[in-house]
Structure 1
Amino acid sequence: MSADFWAGYISGAAGILIGNPLDVLKVRLQSGAPSAPPSTSQFSSAGSLIRGVTAPILGYGALNALLFVTYNRTSAFLNTNPAGTPTGLWSTWLAGAIGGLATWVVSTPTELVKCRAQLSTSSSWNITKEIVRAEGIRGMYFGGAVTALRDSVGYGFYFWSYELSTRFMMSRFKQSKSSGQEAAKVLLCGGLAGVVTWASVFPLDVVKTRVQTQVSVFRGAESEALLGGSVASAETAPLKRLGAVEIARNAYRAEGAGVFFKGLAVCSVRAFVVNAAQWAVYEWIMRELDPERKVGI
């Protein structure tokens, strides 16, 4: 397989391992699930810090590989500039958006399982089995539309902001040639790209989280509310899950506009750390596997 596939896969898995503890907190803040303060029950054991990590490690490695391969191929196709000149920023955004849209097939089931695992005591594997048993493979793509929209817009800004900050750094520090300075540049630009990305799509991510962590109907006589709802009989009280628009409308009515930014501070810290590390790993692996190629963007 291509160098950008493996660079994307490994960097994606590394990013999940680094950022999962803060992602657990982000999802719990976004979902509105009743819980004890973060210092007590949420992180009472080492296991709680990596809850839901199995699905992302398996899924986001593949997602990141698909993202970077699609982005690189699309960027090359859209680049009509003379050889040796950088791609236009609009083409960079569009290639990122197409790459993000392509990840939908992986990101939707991965996000669904991850979010539900982070709000329960079940393992990712058990949650996956329950969803497939109750709803079939189609159930794994619940919330797919809002996830696809979030990924397309977000990854457009992801690559756009990384390219923009990289060009700025190069113009300001043209004499920077040491490996330490290059590594610092990649870490800073990668971290900034992560923050810009999440800031651009955070309201969509809040809605996505609430859509996917609604009441899950399992086969049997009872249904379980992930968000603290009452337990009811599935036979006597069929459960209707709401769409993204209804979720957004209800959240706004109940909690105001601030609900769409709940968890943004935690997410921004996580985004900077994870994406700084992720871009550093990606650039390093690309340099090792394909030294003749211009790495990154």
Structure 2
Amino acid sequence: MDSQVQPKETASLASWNQNAKEVTAGAAGGVAQVLIDLVKVRLQTQGGGQAWSTAKSIWVKEGPWAFYKGSLLPLLGVGACVSIQFGAFHSFRELLESYNRGITPGVDPTLSLRQFYLAGGAAGVVNSVVSGPVEHVRIRLQTQPHGAARIYNGSWDCTRKLTRAAGLTGVYRGQVVTLLREFHGYGVWFAAYEGFLGMAMHHQQKAREELPNWQIAICGGLAGEALWLLSHPLDVIKSKMQSDGFGSDQRYRNMRHAFRDTWVTGGCRALFHGLGPALLRALPVSAGTFATVEAVRKLLG
């Protein structure tokens, strides 16, 4: 009896340890994502414009500290979010590998790019539970009036006022479009990373562990560019909904209304406002995240 149970317990412990490593690696990678994207959000919610002129205007009118608006909550939450992303991704990856073993026993269970997309998308859905309210509060702080006219005195005051205005629904404003962005965005992110990594391994005939850090960083950076290029319109609508007013001041009834209004007033171009700053930020952030995650994986064995 003991000899039959022990292998299962050992496998379960190994899986738990691997999940713990993925969560730890993700948290370390999340530190690299604490970059301020105030310019991107302003361009998305205020009808576009030029990134440089917007940044200059913020500096002149609101001072350098304005670029750190809404940074406290993301600083606290980013490690948790990236931990969730990588931990959940590993769990869904294991499920799909198990499925592959059952369908074709004895064959390499490595996921296809489509399956990597599904695992990444599922991880994004899990992550949206945390990322939705965290990003909502950040956007409120980044788009509120400057100086004496400001509405919120920090992240916790913002959260309290959102709850008072519309309850838990108010905190999770724009959650449907957030969920869609997280599923598609992180599906693309993980699939693109694994795809670029696979190309590098095949071209050089090297194992994953043998690839130099700079190549891992490049693969991660390109994956970040793919994420934003293919999910930016959803992010624009999310920002619009999460900066919208409440009650009589509410402009968008739902996600569909926000899409239609954005298209009518600005066309396809309006769905890509703020893309420049997003791409500029994505390359180093995503490169640093994946490079850090892979380094921590190697360190943890």
TM range, smaller chain? 0.7 to 0.9
**Alignment CA distance shift 1:87-1:214 (3 Å):** same
Give the alignment partner of residue 165 of structure 2, picking from 134, 153, 157: 134
2:80 to 32, 48, 62: 62
The answer to whether the aligner puts 1:32 opposite 2:46 as a matched pair is: yes
The range that moved more, 58-67 or 188-197, is 58-67
Give the residue type in structure 2 aligned to 1:137: L
Q: Are positions 1:42 and 2:58 aligned together? A: yes
Contact kept in structure 1, 2:237 and 2:258, CA below 8 Å: yes
Give the letter for the 1:171 counterpart: H
| 1:197 has 2:201 as partner | no
Write the distance in 1 (CA, Å) between the matches of 2:158 and 2:195. Answer: 40
Conserved? CA contact 2:244–2:250, under 8 Å: no
Deviation at 1:165, TM superposition (A): 0.1
2:28, 2:258 → 1: CA distance?
Answer: 35
Q: Tell me the SS of whatever aligns to 1:138.
A: helix
- Between the aligned partners of 1:113 and 1:202, the Cα distance in structure 2 is 19
**CA separation in 2, counterparts of 1:84 and 1:280?**
26
Structure 1 or 2, whichever has the larger Rg, is 2
- 1:241 is displaced (CA, Å) by 4.2
8 Å contact 1:176–1:182 — kept in the other structure?
no
Q: Closer, same or farther in 2 for the Cα pair 1:64/1:41, shift >3 Å? A: same
User: 1:89-238 counterparts in 2 under 5 A?
Assistant: 89-120=113-144, 121=146, 122=152, 123-174=154-205, 182-216=212-246
What's the C-alpha RMSD, in Å, of the aligned pairs? 2.4
Distance in 2, Cα, partners of 1:254 & 1:34: 12
Q: Post-superposition shift, 1:85?
A: 5.4
The Cα of 1:287 is off from its aligned counterpart by 1.7
Report the secondary structure of 1:15's partner residue: coil
Equivalent in the alignment of 1:10: 28
Name the structure where helix makes up a greater proportion of residues: 2
**By how many angstroms is 1:276 displaced?**
0.5
Distance 1:176 1:283, change over 3 A: closer
Partner of 1:262, secondary structure, is coil
Structure 1: 5+ residue stretches without partners: 218-236, 292-297
1-structure distance, mates of 2:256, 2:86: 30
CA contact (8 A) 1:35 1:42 kept: no
Change (3 A) 1:205 1:177: closer
Q: Contact 1:13 / 1:58 at 8 angstroms: preserved in 2?
A: no
Post-superposition offset of 1:251: 1.2
CA distance in 2, matches of 1:146, 1:279: 26
User: TM-score, normalization: structure 2?
Assistant: 0.81
What code does the residue aligned with 1:108 have? G
Aligned residues: 266
Do the aligned partners of residues 35 and 52 (structure 1) sit closer, same or farther apart at CA in structure 2, a change above 3 Å counting?
A: farther
2:122 partner amino acid: I
Q: What is the aligned-residue identity percentage?
A: 29
Between the aligned partners of 2:208 and 2:286, the Cα distance in structure 1 is 22
1:227-270 CA distances to partner (integer Å, 9 max, x unpaired)?
xxxxxxxxxx5756421111111111111110011111221111
What is the alpha-carbon distance in structure 2 between the residues aligned to residue 130 and residue 119 of structure 1?
A: 15
Per-residue CA deviations over 1:153-186 (Å, capped at 9, x if unaligned) read 111111100000001111222369998x611111
CA distance in 1, matches of 2:134, 2:124: 14
Q: After TM superposition, where is structure 1 displaced by more than 4 Å over at least 4 residues in a row?
A: 33-36, 81-85, 175-179, 237-241
